[in-house]
Structure 1
Amino acid sequence: MTETFIPRIQELAKCARMLALAGASIKLRSDTSVLPAIRDQIELGARMALDELFAEADEEQMSLALVMVEMALNEASELFRNPDRRSNWEIGDAAQMQAMGRSSKSVFTRIQSIAETDPKMRATFRGTLLDVGTGVAGIALEAARCCPDIRVDGIDIWEPALELARRNIAESAYADRVTVRNLDVSALDESNKYSLTWLPTMFLKRSIVESALDRIVRASVSNSYLVAGVYTRPEDPFLALMADLRTLRSGGEISDPADLKAMMEARCYVDIGMSVTPIATFVFGRLP
């Protein structure tokens, strides 16, 4: 039999399982109910995958790693099962939507990190956050948990996700400060309300982003902040391809943070900066 690509497939399958073991090991750090023999094998597998680096990681690294693992495995699974999915975010699987919501919590963690050196951004945590594309309210609930003075308005157009969001909010301790509704951001009609806005442009066509920015400006108070996200496009050719594919399958078009910066400057945002993570790049600015 001639040589085939099967050995390469076996190696890639091994990598997928090693990634799953690393994520499982991080999850089990807060779960003591697992059979010790199983826990030991999972821990051993994670160490085989990551060597001594795994044992030396701090909690912040573990938290980021778990987000990256969950995102990679969910994305890979969904891509394999639904390669013909339309270019949008209309995901119907409840478990996957909830998993994406858990992963999205890191968005607000990152916003808080940016605000550590910016007193004006920190001041927005005492106002109202507009969470565009709220999904199952992962970011909204994390914001409410972290900031006792913040109120959150979440908007989305995917009703299955909003149904889960309403349930998640009702089961939380923050139902008095978090609301969600079915609304397209390009139809936003508030004025002088929001101190902080999260805009995930990776889910939006360029024309919708332009319209959304105009609406957000009108809906924002003085010294409000806008944080807009795009998927980070790495230098590695394969990872860059995956970032582009992720944007297209999510329904977005914008992949260059410089495009967002130019759009914000055209609408009088100042103090514009960028924060780059392996997953997403945040472009943020203040509206005087």
Structure 2
Amino acid sequence: MPVSPSLLTSPAIVTRLRAAGCVFAEDEAELILSTARTPSDLATMVDRRAAGLPLEHVLGWAEFCGLRVAVDPHVFVPRRRTEFLVRQAVALARPGAVVVDLCCGSGAVGVALAAALGQVELYAADVDPAAVRCARRNVGGAGGRVYEGDLFAALPAALRGRIDVLAANVPYVPTEEVGLLPSEAREHEPLVALDGGADGLDVLRRVAADAPRWLAPGGCLLVETSERQAPLAVEAFSGSGLIPATAVSEELYATVVIGTRPAGPSA
């Protein structure tokens, strides 16, 4: 039941969020209180969070790599573990790199890379119109461009053979396991950003197959996956002519497969 804005003190919000099952109710209450502009906004935000909307959709932003990234309703929320992919990409990038954030969602990965690397040529793409609209707010602010379409088909042809860092945060949840995800993801994030097909690697294989034609010599493709899927992902990278490597963060429970295009003629 909605609560009158006049009754929404910090303890009351914490109590309401705890009753709704929010494990970090105190932290969430503080974030909501600091974000709400009016008592009416505050009441609406508390009601939405108590109803099960992701906190980031309630706030309108997510913290990612120390940045506030705008996240609209029905747009994939960037995960903290994906910060590991960003760190791996930063370590591989050169100054002035051509960077592409594929399957970009909100554009969080691209924005974080631009912030960490300084001057880059930044592009992003997603098949979901809502994600593209959201990404344009974030990536545009970082001086980049966002395109709508299916994987590489969305990108300008002039990028072929020029990409130094290709970050593709593809969906990798096996279809049969999507129903096991937390309700916040199942009910409020687009299925296209979650469902990776029968074994979770359908989109990854498509990206790996086409990546050598888009990467510059020595350019890298970085894809987040699960530990159990990593061996099959490595096979897909090798099969497309990329030199594969795997990086793991136990702290963030993150696995990133990296494929480098060898120097020489494009595939």
Is TM (by shorter chain) over 0.5? yes
Q: Secondary structure of 2:134's partner? A: helix
Query: How big is each residue's C-alpha offset from its partner over 1:140-163, in whole Å with a ceiling of 9 and x where there is no partner?
Result: 222222221212210111111211
Cα gap change, 1:265 to 1:142, in 2 (>3 Å): same
**Contact (CA 8 Å) 1:185, 1:215: kept in 2 or not?**
no
Hey, what's the Cα distance between the residues in 1 that align with 2:164 and 2:29? 38
Aligned to 2:223: 228
Aligned to 2:147: 181
**Contact (CA 8 Å) 1:197, 1:226: kept in 2 or not?**
yes
Task: Select 2:87's aligned residue among 103, 113, 137.
Answer: 113
Residue type of the alignment partner of 2:212: V
Aligned to 1:262: 235
Cα gap change, 1:155 to 1:115, in 2 (>3 Å): closer
Cα gap change, 1:106 to 1:207, in 2 (>3 Å): closer
Hey, what's the Cα distance between the residues in 2 that align with 1:32 and 1:196? 34
**Contact (CA 8 Å) 1:105, 1:142: kept in 2 or not?**
no
Aligned to 2:126: 156
Residue type of the alignment partner of 2:247: M
Query: How big is each residue's C-alpha offset from its partner over 1:46-68, in whole Å with a ceiling of 9 and x where there is no partner?
Result: xxxxxxxxxxxxxxxxxxxxxxx
User: Between Structure 1 and Structure 2, how many residues are aligned?
Assistant: 187
**TM-score between the two structures when normalised by the length of structure 1:** 0.53
Cα gap change, 1:185 to 1:32, in 2 (>3 Å): closer
Residue type of the alignment partner of 1:284: I
Higher helix share: 1
Aligned to 2:26: 21
Aligned to 1:194: 163
Using the aligned pairs only, state the percent identity: 13
Hey, what's the Cα distance between the residues in 1 that align with 2:240 and 2:97? 22
Cα deviation for residue 270 of structure 1 reads 2.3
**Contact (CA 8 Å) 2:164, 2:216: kept in 1 or not?**
yes
Cα gap change, 1:218 to 1:133, in 2 (>3 Å): same
- Does structure 1 residue 138 correspond to structure 2 residue 121? no
Q: Secondary structure of 1:164's partner? A: helix
Q: Secondary structure of 2:224's partner? A: strand
Matches within 5 A, 1:29-108: 74=54, 94-95=72-73, 97=75, 100=77, 103-104=78-79, 107=82
Cα gap change, 1:122 to 1:130, in 2 (>3 Å): closer
**Contact (CA 8 Å) 2:106, 2:138: kept in 1 or not?**
yes
Cα deviation for residue 21 of structure 1 reads 2.4
Cα deviation for residue 194 of structure 1 reads 0.5
Query: How big is each residue's C-alpha offset from its partner over 1:231-253, in whole Å with a ceiling of 9 and x where there is no partner?
Result: x46xxxxxxxxxxxxxxxxxxxx
Tell me, which stretches of 5 or more residues in structure 2 are unaligned?
Answer: 1-17, 38-51, 58-70, 173-192, 263-267
Query: How big is each residue's C-alpha offset from its partner over 1:245-275, in whole Å with a ceiling of 9 and x where there is no partner?
Result: xxxxxxxxxx611111111122232251222
Tell me how large the CA RMSD over aligned residues is.
3.6
Hey, what's the Cα distance between the residues in 1 that align with 2:204 and 2:139? 27
Query: How big is each residue's C-alpha offset from its partner over 1:185-213, in whole Å with a ceiling of 9 and x where there is no partner?
Result: 15365421100111223244444432322
Cα gap change, 1:169 to 1:207, in 2 (>3 Å): closer
**TM-score between the two structures when normalised by the length of structure 2:** 0.57
**Contact (CA 8 Å) 1:129, 1:196: kept in 2 or not?**
yes
**Contact (CA 8 Å) 1:104, 1:139: kept in 2 or not?**
no
